[in-house]
Amino acid sequence: MFLRLDRTPSRLRATNLVRRPLSATHAVSDETLIARIAQGDRLAMQVLYGRHHVRVFRFALRLVRNESIAEDLISEVFLDVWRQAGKFEGRSAVSTWLLAITRFKALSALRKRKEAELDDDAAAAIEDTSDNPETVVAKKDTGNALRNCLTALSPEHREIVDLVYYHEKSVEEVAEIVGIPENTVKTRLFYARKKLAELLRAAGIERGWP
């Protein structure tokens, strides 16, 4: 199936966009990069990697809790992108597709190592400069308390919080990444927020979860 680069039915326009040098476009979309990667464009692969490798690493690290494994997973994820770009159908955002690949590989790595319980120490040491739950509760001490409270959540609830607040994914996108119904995502998010509010109050932070 061909990747739809835009809603214009003209194949000529899509072909010209894929062939245009990257330097000639102000902001090349992820979808265009994937189309170029499918044609063997290594520069497009470098641009996509530069855009998303930090996000992929952080997500993988929160799942596997091992920096070395997370780094290996980055290589595996983008190798899959290079090999499978031609199969990308554009039914979801490229970032959603990348996180879904990452999650599958991370869970496979955990099964191989027989590590069901996740350790948040490594993830807590990684500074996240994007908007995240800490900015909602505010200030450094509160952020540290929040990270500690997150470790008390079940892996399923922590994963939902990570995707929604750290990666700013919609309920629909989270459902696609995790492979569960949207209502299940909403239910897990509801109970995760409720539990976090209780834990924060117990830690002396009166302001609850958003």
pLDDT at 16 over 80: no
Q: pLDDT tens across 107-156, in order?
A: 888 887 654 444 444 444 444 444 455 554 444 556 677 777 777 788 88
- 89: tokens are 């159908």
Supply the DSSP string of 106-125, one letter for each residue: HHHHHHHHT--S---HHHHT
Residue ranges of domains in the chain, CATH in brackets: 1-11+18-122 (1.10.1740.10), 127-210 (1.10.10.10)
Residues 6+ apart with CB under 8 A from 185: 160, 171, 174, 175, 178
Summarize pLDDT for 26-64 with one digit per residue, the tens. Answer: 478 999 999 999 999 999 999 999 999 999 999 998 888
Torsion over CA of 61, 64, 70 and 75, rounded to 10 degrees?
A: -120
* Confidence class for position 199, pLDDT limits 50, 70, 90: confident
Mean of the per-residue pLDDT values of the chain: 76
